[in-house]
């Protein structure tokens, strides 16, 4: 399978593609062997770190889908598992589907079968209600600029767990889907279909497609779960964080390490721009704010979505800073940081440039916008990730961009 053989228009239309031999047959045996070493390493850690109430294997025995962050477990002998994520059939396909000048690996997981039967999970979209922005805002960006983030399941063994509803990535739920989800979110949805993967095959899909893990049972499952985001596109991607820290780079071959160093640079540059935008808001510089927004999101359309996403980031910084100031040990600080944002180094680079007081001022700027994103009363919504949320899930707020900019800059002067 070559990147030029894929059909970005079909991907755009149905929200997913099933691709054969993403892992070439002659590489499959070695990939299985290397990944199994990483699973065993993680199992030992879970057993060591188990809680007092947990069985001897800890999370391996209790979770419906034990998930290994495999990049954190590699050494030189198993580094091919990470190099694979940079290949033509994974990275280059992703970049092409996103129509992105550059791209970066966002997450590297291995999803495993549980030790006992846990049955089906729930249908959902991989976004929360209103997070990182209301669904229709994300979809408008995706339609105009292609998906700016893609996710993969790549099977090391035949795998029929994942189902998708074709086309659901680009629309809200139908009334029929709403009824079905409210009634029972653990059975096939109308129009849903399984992604039938043979060993080595992959399914790549666009968030926020409706999808379902149809069964978590003990039949052997080893499924490589990857994410990729765009860089250099005209829009601020709706998945802009990352789920790894660069602790594994020392084990990579020089060429692969150089690729990850480039990803780090790209993220660092983006964080600097976000930092500039936030600093301008705190300092009251509308010129600095506009300049930063032009760099983060050059396109004119979709800017409201970018502002909503920035409000979420500002909220996280404001929520984290007081915790950080009360946390003395570096280990505790790291854990707290990871609970707030996934790539801890990335988050630290951003939060370090603001004091607790500045984070409060920043949030004051965004709060009027945040208020407009909420609906009265927290609601339990079927089909979304995360807990009950006070945020409107689908519709963007009834706000013009100029009005919003005025709201953010009300107490600032250029
Ligand atoms: Fe999901």
Ligand 1 center–CA 403 separation, angstroms: 35
Percentage of residues in the chain having pLDDT higher than 90: 81
Residues 197 and 72 placed together within one structural domain of the fold = yes
Nearest alpha-carbon partner for 208 in 248, 276, 148: 148
Q: How crowded is the C-beta side of 308, counted as CA atoms within 13 Å?
A: 32
> Is the pLDDT reported for residue 1 higher than 90?
no
Do 296 and 248 reside in the same domain of the chain?
no
The answer to whether residues 336 and 208 belong to one domain is: no
Residues 98 and 236 both lie in one domain: yes
3-state secondary structure of 378: strand
Tell me the residue range of the domain where 399 lies.
Answer: 265-408
Going from the Cα of 275 to the center of ligand 1, the distance in angstroms, rounded, reads 30
Please tell me the distance between residue 164's alpha carbon and the centre of ligand 1 in angstroms.
10
Q: Look at residue 413 and tell me if it is in a domain.
A: no
Q: Is residue 292 assigned to a domain?
A: yes
Q: Which residues contact 119 (CB under 8 A, 6 or more apart)?
A: 186, 215, 216, 217
Q: How remote is the CA of residue 150 from the centroid of ligand 1, in Å?
A: 12
* Residue 86 covered by a domain: yes
Instruction: Examine the domain organization and report whether 22 and 113 are in the same domain.
Output: yes
Name the pLDDT band for 384 (thresholds 50, 70, 90): confident
Q: What is the pLDDT of residue 409?
A: 86
Q: 129: CA distance to ligand 1 center in Å? A: 14
Distance in angstroms (rounded) separating the CA atoms of residues 335 and 333? 5
Q: Which percentage of the chain shows pLDDT scores above 70?
A: 96
CB 189 within 8 A of CB 180: yes
Q: How far is the CA of 166 from the centre of ligand 1 (A)?
A: 15
* Beta strands per DSSP E along 113-148: none
pLDDT at 129 over 60: yes
Cβ within 8 Å of residue 60, ≥6 positions away: 42, 43, 46, 47, 66, 115
How large is the average pLDDT for residues 233-237?
A: 96
Distances (CA, A) of 82 to 73, 201, 244, 257, 294: 10, 17, 12, 10, 34
Q: Among 233, 259, 285, where does a domain finish? A: 259
**Of 243, 259, 275, at which residue does a domain stop?**
259
Task: State the distance from the centre of ligand 1 to the C-alpha of 72, rounded, in angstroms.
Answer: 21
Has residue 136 been placed in a domain? yes
Are 391 and 130 in contact by the 8 Å Cβ rule? The answer is yes
The C-alpha atoms of residue 347 and residue 327 are separated, in whole angstroms, by: 16
pLDDT digits (tens, 9 = 90+) for 165-216: 999 999 999 999 999 999 999 999 999 999 999 999 999 999 899 999 999 9
Would residue 414 count as lying in a domain? no
Q: Would you place residue 321 in the very low, low, confident or very high pLDDT band (cuts 50, 70, 90)? A: confident
> How many CB atoms sit inside 10 A of residue 136's CB?
17
Q: Is residue 309 part of a domain?
A: yes
Q: Are residues 250 and 286 in the same domain?
A: no
CA 235, 248, 332, 328 torsion: positive or negative?
negative
CA of 198 to the centre of ligand 1 (A): 20
CA distance linking residue 135 with residue 395, whole number of Å = 7
Final residue in a domain of this structure, among 230, 259, 288 = 259
Check which CATH number belongs to the domain holding 207 and give it: 2.60.120.620
CB-neighbour burial class of residue 86 (10 A; exposed 0-12, middle 13-18, buried 19+): middle
Ligand 1 centroid – CA 385 distance (Å): 8
> How many distinct structural domains can be found in the chain?
2
pLDDT digits (tens, 9 = 90+) for 135-152: 999 999 999 999 999 999
206/273 same-domain check: no
Q: How many CB atoms lie within 10 A of CB 21?
A: 16
14 C-alpha to center of ligand 1: Å? 17
* Span from the CA of 122 to the centroid of ligand 1 (angstroms): 9
95 CA from centroid of ligand 1 (Å):
21
pTM: 0.94
190 lies in the same domain as 220: yes
Burial category of 382 from C-beta neighbours within 10 Å (exposed 0-12, middle 13-18, buried 19 and up):
middle
Enumerate the β-bridge partners of residue 171. Answer: none
Q: Are residues 32 and 115 in the same domain?
A: yes
Question: What are 56-115's pLDDT values in tens digits?
Answer: 999 999 999 999 999 999 999 999 999 999 999 999 999 999 999 999 999 999 999 999
- Inside any domain, residue 177: yes
Residue 13 sits in the same domain as residue 56: yes
Q: How far is the CA of 125 from the centre of ligand 1 (A)?
A: 6
| Helix ranges restricted to H, 226-384 | 254-283, 286-296, 303-326, 330-340, 344-351, 356-372
Kindly state whether residues 147 and 213 are assigned to the same domain. yes
Kindly give the distance from the C-alpha atom of residue 287 to the centroid of ligand 1, in angstroms, as a whole number. Answer: 40
Same domain, 150 and 278: no
Instruction: Please tell me the predicted confidence (pLDDT) of residue 411.
Output: 59
Give distance in angstroms: CA of 232 to centre of ligand 1: 26
Centroid of ligand 1 to alpha carbon of 293 (angstroms) = 30
126 CA to centre of ligand 1 in angstroms: 5
Ligand 1 centroid vs 408 CA: distance in angstroms? 33
Compute the 3-state secondary structure of the chain and give helix, strand, coil in percent, each to the nearest 5.
Answer: 50, 15, 35
- Report the pLDDT value the prediction gives residue 414, as an integer from 0 to 100: 45
């Amino acid at each position: 399978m070559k990147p030029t053989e894929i059909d970005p228009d079909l991907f755009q239309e149905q929200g997913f593609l099933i691709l054969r031999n993403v892992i070439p047959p002659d590489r499959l045996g070695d990939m299985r062997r290397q990944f199994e070493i990483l699973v065993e390493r993680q199992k030992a850690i879970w057993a060591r770190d188990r809680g007092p109430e947990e069985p001897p294997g800890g999370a391996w025995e209790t979770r419906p889908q034990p998930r290994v962050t495999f990049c954190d477990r590699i050494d030189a002998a198993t580094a091919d598992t990470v190099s694979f994520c940079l290949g033509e059939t994974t990275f280059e396909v992703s970049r092409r589907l996103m129509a992105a000048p550059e791209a970066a690996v966002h997450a590297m997981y291995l999803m495993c079968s549980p030790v006992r039967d846990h049955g089906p999970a729930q249908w959902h979209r991989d976004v929360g209600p209103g997070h990182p922005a209301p669904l229709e805002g994300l979809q408008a960006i995706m339609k105009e600029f292609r998906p700016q983030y893609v996710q993969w399941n790549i099977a090391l063994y035949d795998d029929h767990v994942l189902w998708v509803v074709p086309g659901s990535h680009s629309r809200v739920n139908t009334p029929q889907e709403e009824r079905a989800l409210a009634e029972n979110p653990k059975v096939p949805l109308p129009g849903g279909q399984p992604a039938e993967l043979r060993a080595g095959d992959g399914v790549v899909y666009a968030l926020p497609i409706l999808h379902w893990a149809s069964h978590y049972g003990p039949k052997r499952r080893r499924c490589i779960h990857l994410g990729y985001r765009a860089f250099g596109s005209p829009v601020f991607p709706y998945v802009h964080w990352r789920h790894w820290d660069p602790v594994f780079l020392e084990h990579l071959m020089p060429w692969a390490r150089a690729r990850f160093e480039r990803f780090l640079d790209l993220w660092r540059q983006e964080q600097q721009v976000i930092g500039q935008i936030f600093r301008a808001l705190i300092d009251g510089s509308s010129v600095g704010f506009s300049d930063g927004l032009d760099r983060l999101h050059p396109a004119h359309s979709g800017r409201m979505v970018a502002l909503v996403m920035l409000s979420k980031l500002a909220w996280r910084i404001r929520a984290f800073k007081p915790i950080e100031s009360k946390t003395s040990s570096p280990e505790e600080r790291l854990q707290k940081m990871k609970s707030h944002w996934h790539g801890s180094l990335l988050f630290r680079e951003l939060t370090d440039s603001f004091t607790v007081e500045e984070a409060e001022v920043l949030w004051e700027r965004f709060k009027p916008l945040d208020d407009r994103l909420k609906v009265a009363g927290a609601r339990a919504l079927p089909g979304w990730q995360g807990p009950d949320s006070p945020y409107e899930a689908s519709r963007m707020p009834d706000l013009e961009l100029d009005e919003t900019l005025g709201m953010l800059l009300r107490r600032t002067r250029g």
